[in-house]
A and B are shown apart, each in its own frame.
Chain A
Amino acid sequence: MAATAEQLQALARIEKSPGYWQTVGRRLMRDPVAVGAGIIILILLSLAIFAPWIAPHDPYHGRMLGRLSPIGTPGHPLGTDELGRDMLSRLIYGGRLSLFMGITPVFIAFFVGSAIGVAAGYIGGTFNSIVMRTLDVLFAFPSVLLAIALSGALGAGIVNGLIALTVVFIPPIARIAESVTTSVRKLEYVEAARASGANAFTVVRVHVLGNVLGPIFVYATSLISVSMILAAGLSFLGLGVRPPEPEWGLMLNTLRNAIYVQPWLAALPGVMIFLTSISFNLLSDGLRSAMDIKT
């Protein structure tokens, strides 16, 4: 035991430099725009999670007499929608599906796309060509068109919308993952790791992933903004989420006919989509410049 204690003591004396992610975190915290965007995202997320405790009214319950009451109506600070449901409550509840539909596809695509891209980049050769040429086919569709085509063919519904969006985001993430992995793979430390006799999985886990996941992750966060707009857009078209669920894109759709009656009320759900999308964009930009550490 004495030896262990001695070793522990020696360990404690070792000067430790801050790791890469620690440095990135510290730099990010010094960026006021990114911090602001992050706080807004946290607020939006907590509103969605704690909606039942925060929302003043039941988002599904409408009163036919109180339809389309203006912003500032007593009891309904943001007015009511075309079925007399409280807008504030629906906007708060709407975050649940909207954020879920916007973030989940990118999240899944991050894992699937990274796996495909890293494998293609690391293995290289014919396997790489086959994978990347297949992805090129999906790249031949503009993302909006592909999302609408897939969910249009699959039919409306939350799951179908998620599938469509995930398929849209896998190719760009895989392509980034492939190019980063290909460049990292050529570096000598990966060669050195291979020369250590470690198997491919160990080399990828210890030496490749740590250096490629960062850039892929930043790229993926920048896609969340696009995904939010697209997901709400699908619901806006009547694909994706179906009534009477509260969801920002769908709310925008159903309120579209009300623009001559309560124009600014009708535009409210879009403000939420915009706010979410721009916050993710600014956070992603901040993260990108925080990770751009010159050594």
Chain B
Amino acid sequence: MLIYTARRILYTLPIMLGVALVCFALVHISPGDPLVSVLPPDASEELRLRMMQIYGFDRSYVEQFLIWLGRALQGDLGNSIATGRPVAAEVWGAVGNTLMLAVVATIIGFTLGCLFGFVAGYFRDTWIDKLASFISVIGVSVPHYWLGMVLVIIFSVQLNWLPATGAGPGGSSAWVWDWEHVRHLILPAVTMSVIPMGIVARTVRALVADILSQEFVSGLRAKGLLDRGVLAHVIKNAAPTALAVMGLQLGYLLGGSILIETVFSWPGTGFLLGQAIFQRDLPLLQGTILVLALFFVVLNLLVDVVQTALDPRVQRS
């Protein structure tokens, strides 16, 4: 196990390096002069060259990458071109809000998904299965940003029960555990929970159906063992995979929350990304994506290691 974990970590390092390389390259595949948004339109050639030097754009790509990587390792992701504030601070402030949203959404989605999936798998090929499976197909097919809009229309515009946008009263962007903030969290979290719900339901259905169709389960049933025993067995066998799917989904939500955060003006990383794109604030774009992608890689690593610890069958050579 220890060897497996160590090997898995070693294997992750080059991937992290690759991720950093892709993030670095983002700035360079972007068309146009990267300085165009900092310089006044009538800037002299001399000023342009000096700015090039300051930002290091006059060096070779390899040098630029190494310098950028070295700084990033020390937690310095450069400064936002639009606000001039350090990117790391901006991202750090937003990550908490996104994490809050994603964790709550994952919990809701996982609970509902397990429920639907379990019921569908347990009553396989009955109308209950068909219904539960249909709900999970809807879950994976619905454009979640549109679902967010529909929920806003129903619960904010028509019923006026819940706030439509923001993370707290009066544009508060710091999370506080009070009713006002929770009210703001409900719609975006429910919207977001639909994504993992469908996938978790599909996975759990397949797992449950597979376990129930195995001979030893038929044997248990034939012996007259109560359904409770079978149930416990199914849960024990399905849990590692289901948990792994949940972990991965949390990772996807962290990176995929941008559309939902835009709909609800939720002050998280997705919102930050939106800003970065519209102001062509490339350092901010780069930094946010790097942080989110690294989160995802680390989460994948954790999921793998935990799953292997729970279920030794998973371990491959």
Contacts and interface: CB of A to CB of B under 8 A. Distances in A.
Q: Are A and B in contact, CB atoms below 8 Å, in the complex?
A: yes
B30 A154 contact: yes
A228 B146 CA distance: 13
Contacts of A120: none
Interface stretch (A137-145, A185-193, A203-211): A137-145
Interface string B13-46: 0111011011100110111100000000000000
Given A136-B18, A140-B15, A149 B254 contact: no
A269 to B, nearest CB: 8
A183 to B, nearest CB: 15
A229 interface: yes
Interface in A153-201: 153-155
A259 B146 CA distance: 12
B310 interface: no
Interface size of B as a range = 35 or more
A263 B273 contact: no
B251 A142 contact: yes
Say whether chain A's binding surface is mostly helix, strand, loop, or mixed: helix
A225 interface: yes
A104 B65 CA distance: 33
Contact of B153 (A144, A145, A259): A259
Interface string A120-160: 00000000000001101110111111001110111100000
A267 B149 contact: yes
Given A155-B31, A266-B149, A143 B256 contact: yes
A40 interface: no
B153 A264 contact: yes
A289 to B, nearest CB: 12
B30 A155 contact: yes
B213 interface: no
A34 interface: no
A225 B142 CA distance: 9
Quick one: which of B21, B149, B254 has the most chain A CB within 10 A? B149
A152 B157 contact: no
Contacts of A277: 141-143
Interface residues of A, number: 45
Contacts of B138: 278
Given A259-B152, A274-B143, A140 B27 contact: no
A149 B30 contact: no
Contacts of A269: 146
Interface in A241-256: 252, 256
B211 interface: no
B137 A148 contact: no
Contact of B150 (A138, A260, A267, A282): A267
A236 interface: yes
A274 B141 contact: yes
Contact of B137 (A134, A264, A266, A281): A281
A263 B150 CA distance: 8
A70 interface: no
Contacts of B297: 140
A239 B262 CA distance: 13
A267 B154 CA distance: 11
B68 interface: no
A150 B276 CA distance: 13
Contacts of A225: 140-141
Interface string A17-29: 0000000000000
B287 to A, nearest CB: 12
Contacts of B263: 256
A259 B277 contact: no
Contact of A149 (B32, B289, B296): B289
A238 B273 CA distance: 12
Contact of B140 (A133, A144, A267, A281): A281
Given A154-B29, A154-B31, A264-B153, A233 B143 contact: yes
Contact of A237 (B31, B256, B262): B262
A114 to B, nearest CB: 23
B175 to A, nearest CB: 22
Contacts of A62: none
A137 B22 contact: yes
B261 to A, nearest CB: 11
Contacts of B142: 274, 277-278
A285 B300 CA distance: 27
Quick one: which of A138, A144, A281 has the most chain B CB within 10 A? A144
B149 A145 contact: no
Contact of B285 (A142, A149, A237, A264): A149
6 contacts: A142-B255, A145-B255, A149-B26, A150-B26, A233-B145, A236-B262
Top 10 A-B residue pairs of the complex, sorted by shortest distance between their CB atoms = A270-B146, A137-B18, A142-B255, A145-B255, A144-B256, A278-B141, A152-B277, A263-B153, A153-B26, A153-B30
Given A141-B22, A142-B293, 16 more contacts: A138-B22, A140-B16, A140-B18, A141-B19, A145-B255, A145-B289, A148-B277, A149-B289, A153-B30, A256-B149, A259-B149, A259-B153, A267-B150, A273-B143, A274-B142, A274-B143
Interface of B: 14-16, 18-19, 21-23, 26-27, 29-32, 137-138, 140-147, 149-150, 152-153, 157-158, 251-252, 254-256, 258-259, 262-263, 273-274, 276-278, 280, 282, 285, 289, 292-293, 296-297, 300
